[in-house]
A = this chain, B = another copy of it.
Amino acid sequence: MAEQPVRAWRHVLDHIERDLLDGRLSPGDRLASERDLATDLGVGRSSVREALRVLEVMGLIRTATGSGPQSGAIVIATPTGGMSALLRLQVAAHGFPLADVVQTRLVLEDAVVAALAGAHDRDTGQAHRMLDAMDATGLTSAEFLALDAQLHLALAEASGNTVIAAMMAGLRSSIESYVQSGAATIPDWDRMSARLREEHRALVHAIDAGDEASARALVHAHITGYYAATGLTRDAAAAPTADTDTDTVSPTPDN
């Protein structure tokens, strides 16, 4: 009996996953109400609520405000939020070392700019809007870094791969507090932000010009440079692959 509550919410979660897999539930559909799910599955309403919270944090459903019997949650499938929550919590709990997060970001950013620069047509409109927004005078470092994150996300989204875009957003969000506190250690923020603006423009220019090799080299230098400047991830950023002769990729087992 002791394990019953655990099993009950798992049962609800498995049931909803099965409905999603089999196409009985799709984005836009409304889940049965808590009460009906509890009755149908023979579990308590609190177990249903626990399963719904999991689905909500993972970006699978949006729960209506109110919790009456009519207020079934809506299936939304917005993966970005869930990935961010997961990675943020894991980094917080030291499940993922910061260095591994930065290295993974390098791998994904490399894939994004290579795909974009290599594409016959691409839409970097949103990236350009972010470049312009970062030119505004008087931005705080927090404001600037938020736009910076949006620029990188815009590029990931423009590359068209939703999984990579969600992972990138999640990785960035997972180290948000480190990035922000890193900025506070930089003595001359105006100078740093001018440098970042210049690097961003050069990167987007290389992408627009279809210059894949330059875009990849620029994004690598841009990311490692910033982390090195903030002293955040000396090991990860300075020498991701100390003993290979290619640049990126990073998972270096030997040091």
A246: chain B residues within 8 A (beta carbon):
114-115, 118, 212, 253
Q: Once the chains bind, are A51 and B49 in contact (CB under 8 Å)?
A: no
Interface size of A by CB at 8 A reads: 90
Whether the pair B95, A254 counts as a contact (CB closer than 8 A) is no
Chain A, interface SS category:
helix
Q: Which of A160-183 contact B (CB under 8 A)?
A: 160-164, 166-167, 171, 177
Copies of this chain present in the complex amount to 2
**Contact A95 B59, beta carbon cutoff 8 Å:** yes
> A110 and B251: CB pair below 8 A?
yes
Tell me whether A251 and B121 are in contact (CB under 8 A): no
| One of B118, B164, B254 near A243 (C-beta < 8 A) | B118
Report if A9 contacts B (CB, 8 A). yes
Q: B92 to A21, Cβ gap below 8 A?
A: yes
A interface residues with partner B (beta carbon < 8 Å) = 2-3, 5-6, 9, 13, 17, 20-21, 25-27, 46, 49-51, 53-55, 57-60, 63, 65-67, 75, 77-79, 82-83, 85-90, 92-97, 100-101, 103-104, 107-108, 110-112, 114-116, 118-123, 158-164, 166-167, 171, 177, 212-213, 216, 241, 243-254
